[in-house]
Structure 1
């Protein structure tokens, strides 16, 4: 590892795709979760851009998205100076998406890989953590953000930290852990040496490509072939569709992070949420003294821990606790917080 690397600009690489079925009926294939104003007035994608803007010292972003969402991306980029867009012919998971961006950047560029559909309450801490991660990345590490756990969450993967890295604000990754059952999640919380895996990363473009080639050579070569045969169109880059179709779909965690000897983790306590379902959104929103949150026309009486979101019809709820009610057009969802995990399995969500 190089301990004297000079600082280079941090390039936000924003991954923008998916259908967000667990936030049905608000989130649809034609307008999925990143493009909705779920927390505050900005969409999650717009908030991601704002966290990584030039005024905070970041380089212009690179957005990786699909053709179906290109118009939404460009509308919400709103003329972001210097931004580039890579248009995937089809979704091939995060390893390929990140590799596309890495191949379009200088080898020494520090990539800050950000999902476009997460919420972060403490932007200053996010930026401070990003700079710490970038410093480690400049020294040759592949860095993941370790989200400080706030409870025994069973819906996330975990990262176990290893030994500290010199005087840096990070540790080697000891291991990645699959989503645990509640007992194991509680044990991880009690241990204190585990973080949630939030899917945010920092690494040099060249280092990432080297590790991808070492651990998934076929995937690395196929992505490179798609880029070599691709073409630019203004601020857009289109990889070759035929070459891209042959890419093996795999997450960056499985393809690289769980295999590399260069994995590091920096702690991040920044009010993070993946807004993975309606209950996660409720937890991220401001609530009244009884834990209720309302958006749209609604009246609650003698209720606690109730979320109501309506885009039109008035919703009235009396004497209910731990309830989620969502109205979007002619679709109505009613579920418990526990049931929120299964919204994506509904037939309406699959039709979208």
Structure 2
């Protein structure tokens, strides 16, 4: 059996505005109805796989749990990192949780890649598993299709061969376009897919040899960790001492027993809008269309609208990416798709909330979104999932009026507890202790109207919280 280790704590910005720090690309749907995270989990849930290990952070813990549960997969272990430290400590922590099974195989996979040919992918995993049983560390590569400057490259000791593991001779960092064009002509070079497979004992030995300090700190973080609502929270103090470094730099580039397996399947890391265009564009005009869009006379263009009531129209566009959301619009040349992160950095430096905040704010009980915001008032739409419970709380600066529009809400205001169904409402005076929960079996939706001198999310005094939020 193979233990999938799914890394899902990243916060990519090159697919902004669809991907932001508060809701990164792994939890968004770019092809079909499932998110990239759910697609990865589905690929790794066959009979050859044991229960997965998820490595994420505090902010995304309930997204991981909810999206896995939506697939009926409830047996995974979710490890929470107290700080983002790149892939090397994340992989090591997962390996240490499996150290009582030293001969077990673990497959490390990012959660934000697109692979559509699952059968071909699993065939490559089988090749890698056979090689890993001999004590080597396996990395996966992809045969280059274009002079890509956004990926790292694997250099093999001999030409890549489909269905075989080939010794690795080195890594190449993301090249410039001229170097990438030259690499495209070589038959012993692969794109680095960022996936690995090895036995637990072999990867732990590699850390002992090449990163003993990290090993000691991860051991301490596990020893100081604690279970919390079905999650395992690593000890913060030792984990925060670890340097942020990738497993490629910390281990794979230094180890001598590394081989590469070329993926037989399609693959994209969806690291930028041009990479999404490359795998989704159709027809002779190479158009990629998603959501309510209309393309007239466009060529080699990506149009995407994420709002049902925003119609995006492209007229005579060539080599353009246009993405429309409720609170932000991106229009860029596909040739500059790798520079979106620079634009996000500029927005962040200017204090623009859209740089990081998503228009829909996900919470462990569901989500909310702002419909209208003005001086001394705000209107929100709120969804509370079945069993969801908001904290028992009060506000210092605002009052609230709740109107249920679907489902049934159990509402506490002071000493009064009542059930509200569709078209019923309740007023929550300023300073009143209150709570809302969904005791039904379907999602509950309501409109919240806030009025007051200050409407920030930090105007909350919590008295009880079933999700143990500080």
* Bigger Cα displacement from structure 2, 229-238 vs 255-264: 229-238
Matches of 1:351 and 1:237 in 2, distance apart? 26
Q: 1:65 to 1:331 in 2, by over 3 A?
A: same
Structure 1 residue 35 displacement after superposition: 0.4
- 2:410 corresponds in structure 1 to none
Query: Aligned partners of 2:134 and 2:238: how far apart in 1?
Result: 33
Residue deviations 1:64-86, cap 9 Å, x none? 00010001000011141421111
Instruction: Indicate whether 1:322 and 2:319 are aligned.
Output: yes
The residue aligned with 1:5 is none
Q: 1:131-146, aligned counterparts within 5 Å?
A: 131-146=126-141
Does residue 68 (structure 1) correspond to residue 59 (structure 2)? The answer is: yes
* Matching of residues 202-241 of structure 1 within 5 Å: 202-233=197-228, 235-241=230-236
**Structure 1 residues without counterparts, runs of 5 or longer:** 1-8
RMSD: 1.7
- Quote the offset at 1:164 in angstroms: 8.8
Aligned equivalents of 1:94, 1:293: Cα separation in 2: 32
Q: Which stretches of structure 1, 4 residues or longer, exceed 3 Å deviation after superposition?
A: 348-352
Secondary structure of the corresponding residue to residue 23 of structure 1: coil
> After the TM superposition, which of the residue ranges 230-239 and 313-322 deviates more from structure 2?
230-239
| SS in structure 1 of the partner of residue 29 of structure 2 | coil
When structure 1 is superposed on structure 2, of 89-98 and 316-325 the one drifting more is: 316-325
Question: Any conservation in 1 of the 2:159–2:188 contact (CA below 8 Å)?
Answer: no
1:53 aligns to 2:50 (yes or no): no
Q: Which has the greater radius of gyration?
A: 2
Please show how residues 1-352 of structure 1 align to structure 2 within 5 Å.
9-55=1-47, 57-78=48-69, 79-105=72-98, 106-162=101-157, 169-233=164-228, 235-312=230-307, 313-346=310-343, 347=347, 350-352=355-357
Please tell me whether the aligned partners of residues 54 and 60 of structure 1 are also in contact (alpha carbons under 8 angstroms): no
Partner secondary structure for residue 140 of structure 1: coil
Deviation at 1:233, TM superposition (A): 3.8
Distance (whole Å) between structure 2 residues aligned to residue 301 and residue 190 of structure 1: 37
By how many angstroms is 1:153 displaced? 1.1
**1:14 match: secondary structure:** strand
Shift of 1:225: 1.1
In structure 2, C-alpha distance between the alignment counterparts of 1:171 and 1:185, rounded to whole Å: 21
Deviation at 1:341, TM superposition (A): 0.8
Q: TM-score, normalised on structure 2?
A: 0.70
Which shows bigger deviation, 90-99 or 155-164?
Answer: 155-164
- CA contact 2:123–2:264 (8 Å) conserved in 1: no
1:6 equivalent in structure 2: none
CA contact (8 A) 1:45 1:117 kept: yes
Identify unmatched segments of 5+ residues in structure 2: 358-470
Tell me the alpha carbon deviations over residues 171-197 of structure 1, each in whole angstroms, 9 at most, x when there is no partner: 110111111222222222212110011
Question: Aligned equivalents of 1:298 and 1:151: distance in 2?
Answer: 28
Contact 1:144 1:265 in 2 (8 A): yes
State the shift of 1:89 in Å.
0.8
Post-superposition shift, 1:124? Answer: 0.8
Cα drift, residue 298 of structure 1 = 1.7
**Cα offset for 1:112?**
0.4
Supply the distance in 1 between the matched residues of 2:178 and 2:332 (Cα, whole angstroms): 25
TM-score after normalising by structure 1: 0.93
Deviations 1:314-343 (A, max 9, x none): 122211111111011121110011121111
